[in-house]
Chain A
Amino acid sequence: MLEQLLIFTRGGLILWTCKEIGNALKGSPIDTLIRSCLLEERSGEVSFNYGAYTLKWTFHNDLGLVFVAVYQKILQLLYVDDLLSMVKQSFSEIYDPKRMRYDDFDETFRQLRVEAEARAEEMKRTKQVVKPLNGVKKQGQVSKEETKKSNGEKKDDEGKVSSVSNGNHKMEDDVANGKENSADNNNNNNNSVGVDVSKLAKLRSKGVRGRGGLRKADSIGSNKGSSKVEPPKKATKKNRVWDDAAAAPKQEEKLDFTDEHGDNGHVDVVAAADQGESMMDKEEVFSSDSESEDDDEPISDEKPEAKKKGWFSSVFQSITGKANLERTDLEPALKALKERLMTKNVAEEIAEKLCESVEASLEGKKLASFTRISSTVQGAMEEALIRILTPRRSIDIMRDVHAAKEQRRPYVVVFVGVNGVGKSTNLAKVAYWLQQHKVSVMMAACDTFRSGAVEQLRTHARRLQIPIFEKGYEKDPAVVAKEAIQEATRNGSDVVLVDTAGRMQDNEPLMRALSKLINLNKPDLVLFVGEALVGNDAVDQLSKFNQKLSDLSTSGSTRLIDGILLTKFDTIDDKVGAALSMVYISGAPVMFVGCGQSYTDLKKLNVKAIVKTLLK
């Protein structure tokens, strides 16, 4: 049954709640919905899960109203969408901006609800009568698809599930159990996480099921393949020893090239690197180009006749300014905008979601006079982009460092990322910047895998004249980090910068090692280092990193990625979309931008400049 149905204005005033079913809701689902979904530009999604509830919503953009329905997650009520649209229609007839109480709407709502329920019953009955067998499977599939939609998973999973849906009723029970468990875990959800942690937990439970399902499919489909591969491979490679596995001491000796006596030869004292002010502190000077109208560019891919008609009617409408925006009107403008975003290297999925969200917020709105549809859409998209790129919490690192200093403990920053993005280089840049502001820094070389990583950090430390904690290669990074932090507490360093090895997001043992490092040491800031050149993979990297970090977290508090460091920004001219993709998918703000290879090439993200470049 419906738990609650609310109508409120975009300004925050509740206009009407259903009084018949006046159950108090556990927690604050509406506020969480607004904070983590509607304000995060995810209003194009179908539903939102919070604790034991599922929420669905619809907007009336012209009057600035939001209609939200809350119901128990376990029940799959099919009439909610229908009910919401009917409520929207009838409420907008009686809405008056001056009126604050709408008690007479109770009666109307009761009727509408009865109507909607009846209609849903009918539909269910007709479906069941026509195809009894398929109906059972379909119900299973429908529920799966609904849960999947509410999880917002990628579309490629659907294909796999449908192939495994035969005889999957046992699996369904597992899902239900998994959901109930995760529901209990997520009642103390932090409202500030953009990425729904409950979503991730659900992905975890689904992952368990999915893997089983996949294995089945794989075993069915690729039995032939695997049998072919096995015979030729006899001489297997000796596996690289990662962390805990006990390795033969001879192997360890052979591979450990740590030089016990320090650098042999080059013991010259390197002068402390002082290259001037870091670009973090310089004011950003960006040329204010005149904003060229996008309509000057001819939209060449549309048919000329349709274009002429569209253009004429849009001009006419722009002058009169009375038309309500419909989906069909918005589509061409949104499509063009999406293409433009994608040419600026925004991931395809993100561009799609953004356009849906903007569409949801503009549909039904009245056009202001003398504005074209395209400029309205552009304005809405610009606002949405600024909203996404504006950090949700303060990114004042100096303040955090001072706060940690007062508590007499070092401020720990862990740099994570895939291979070759520039973690070590940017770690040195951050150390330089902190040092310039009279903060004592210590580096911890927890990249114990890549040859030369420790030497690299050692060189940086020598040039910057800051202490470095290293234990050589082939050591457990989590333990090295722990000892580094203890050392920092002992000698009074304010900040500890921990460098980790690069790892692909799919590599299970490496991600587990990373998660262990983070759980053991509880750093203050987990900084994901991503390069600006990355394309669609950014979405995959960040979401998998976050997922693994939440899956494998042991204690109650789940640490996710707290901030993003965008590197190699000088190599992209104006294709700045990676920043947007990363921020959207993870909800973490961009704290630094690396724009070169010397110590001073570190700056802050300029939101307005990026938005302007994206929409140019």
Chain B
Amino acid sequence: MENLEDLKIMAEQWSNRGIEYLQKIPQDQLYAAVGVLLFTTVLLFLSIRLVRRTKSNTVLLSGLSGSGKTVLFYQLRDGSSHQGTVTSMEPNEGTFDLHSENAKKGKVKLVHLVDVPGHSRLRPKLEEFLPQAAAIVFVVDALEFLPNCRAASEYLYDILTNANVVKKKVPVLLCCNKTDKLTAHTKEFIRKQMEKEIEKLRASRSAVSTADIANDFTIGIEGEVFSFSHCCNKVTVAEASGLDGETVQIQDFIREHIKP
């Protein structure tokens, strides 16, 4: 009890002293000091907000030219591929709400979907979008897979060894498109073939130089045959059919990795 009273008295004394002190200072200086204090606190708040970046909601649709990215983009956005597509010359971007059949808590998940052209001349466009990607869907043509296997594997290898992808551990979905056709390959076959090709690429690329100029990182474990499970970021395989509208697996993937 005494302590409390002592404390009370001490607090009163301090507050008196403080008020006296404050009254001594000329008013202009006081206001200036208060103003500066307010300003800096506001700045601090803003910067903290920016730095503590809200998780990006960008999903990239990439893959070779002709694999069906633009069709998938329009399927996901509008539910139909309209009157068909031609080779894209520019990226398609769209921010929309993914229609969740099982409307979880009615939350609106705005997804920023970007369809990057697959033509090799437009490859630099992909590098523009990679820094802001939260998830990547790599579309592969399951119908014409074998002639394009090498090119597709090289593209995927470049994506998986990109600095942004490795550092942020961006999840990648290997999507086998055009599975509505009879002669389309299965996703297991495609996965195995691509793992084999990437293994070969790993051998030849690391043989080129000790200072790896072409790729920022190497993937996989030394001495073991490459498998997608060796990547530090998650790589999963799914099937889809752009023309039929069969995009459930892609939607699940997006919903899983893009949190509002």
Partner-B contacts on A (CB < 8 A): 6, 8, 10-17, 30-31, 34-35, 38-40, 64, 100-101, 280-284, 386-388, 390-394, 396, 398-399, 401-403, 437-438, 604
Find the A residue at minimum CB distance from B207.
A437
Contact with A387, one of B84, B122, B213 (Cβ below 8 angstroms): B122
Interface-facing stretch out of B36-44, B88-96, B135-143: B88-96
Contact with B151, one of A280, A388, A391, A394 (Cβ below 8 angstroms): A394
A282-B211 contact, Cβ under 8 Å, with A390-B123, A390-B124: yes
B70 touches A12 (CB 8 A): yes
Tally of chain B residues near chain A (CB < 8 A): 39
Minimum CB–CB distance for A494 against chain B, Å? 12
Q: Is B85 an interface residue (CB 8 A)?
A: yes
A31-B208 contact, Cβ under 8 Å, with A13-B70, A390-B123, A394-B151: no
Q: Is B28 an interface residue (CB 8 A)?
A: no
Q: Is B115 an interface residue (CB 8 A)?
A: yes
B90 touches A281 (CB 8 A): no
Chain B residues, Cβ within 8 Å of A6:
86
Pick the 5 closest A-B CB pairs, nearest first: A12-B88, A281-B209, A11-B92, A10-B90, A12-B70
Give the complex CA separation of A64 and B154 in angstroms.
31
Find the A residue at minimum CB distance from B93.
A11
Contact with A14, one of B65, B84, B120, B204 (Cβ below 8 angstroms): B84
Partner-A contacts on B (CB < 8 A): 65-66, 70, 74, 78, 82-92, 115, 117, 119-124, 150-151, 154, 200-201, 203-205, 207-211, 213-214
Query: Which of A12, A17, A30, A282 lies at the interface centre, i.e. has the most chain B CB atoms within 10 A of its CB?
Result: A12
Contact with B208, one of A40, A387, A398 (Cβ below 8 angstroms): A398
A39 touches B204 (CB 8 A): no
Chain B residues, Cβ within 8 Å of A283:
211, 213
B121 touches A39 (CB 8 A): yes
Chain A residues, Cβ within 8 Å of B84:
14
A12 touches B201 (CB 8 A): no
A399-B200 contact, Cβ under 8 Å, with A101-B82, A281-B211: yes
Find the B residue at minimum CB distance from A66.
B89
Give the complex CA separation of A378 and B220 in angstroms.
42
A100-B70 contact, Cβ under 8 Å, with A11-B91, A396-B154, A438-B207: no
Give the complex CA separation of A403 and B201 in angstroms.
10
Chain B residues, Cβ within 8 Å of A30:
86-87
Chain B residues, Cβ within 8 Å of A390:
120-121, 123-124
16 more A-B contacts (CB under 8 A) besides A11-B89, A281-B208? Answer: A10-B90, A12-B85, A13-B92, A15-B83, A38-B89, A39-B119, A101-B83, A283-B211, A387-B122, A388-B121, A390-B124, A391-B120, A398-B205, A401-B204, A402-B203, A402-B204
15 contacts between A and B (CB under 8 A): A10-B90, A11-B90, A13-B74, A13-B83, A13-B85, A14-B83, A30-B87, A31-B87, A39-B89, A39-B121, A101-B83, A282-B213, A391-B120, A398-B208, A403-B150
Find the A residue at minimum CB distance from B115.
A11
A8 touches B86 (CB 8 A): yes
Find the A residue at minimum CB distance from B151.
A394
Contact with A437, one of B91, B201, B208 (Cβ below 8 angstroms): B208
Minimum CB–CB distance for A400 against chain B, Å? 9
Minimum CB–CB distance for B245 against chain A, Å? 15
A35-B78 contact, Cβ under 8 Å, with A283-B213, A399-B201, A399-B204: no
Contact with A281, one of B123, B200, B213 (Cβ below 8 angstroms): B213
A13-B121 contact, Cβ under 8 Å, with A64-B90, A399-B201, A438-B207: no
Chain B residues, Cβ within 8 Å of A40:
121
Chain A residues, Cβ within 8 Å of B70:
11-13
Chain B residues, Cβ within 8 Å of A391:
120
Give the complex CA separation of A391 and B209 in angstroms.
21
Minimum CB–CB distance for B38 against chain A, Å? 32
Give the complex CA separation of A475 and B94 in angstroms.
65
Chain A residues, Cβ within 8 Å of B150:
399, 403
B211 touches A12 (CB 8 A): no
B124 touches A386 (CB 8 A): yes
Find the A residue at minimum CB distance from B65.
A35
Give the complex CA separation of A402 and B203 in angstroms.
9
Minimum CB–CB distance for B65 against chain A, Å? 8
A17 touches B83 (CB 8 A): yes
Chain A residues, Cβ within 8 Å of B201:
399
B88 touches A14 (CB 8 A): no
Find the A residue at minimum CB distance from B201.
A399
Chain A residues, Cβ within 8 Å of B209:
280-282
Minimum CB–CB distance for B63 against chain A, Å? 13
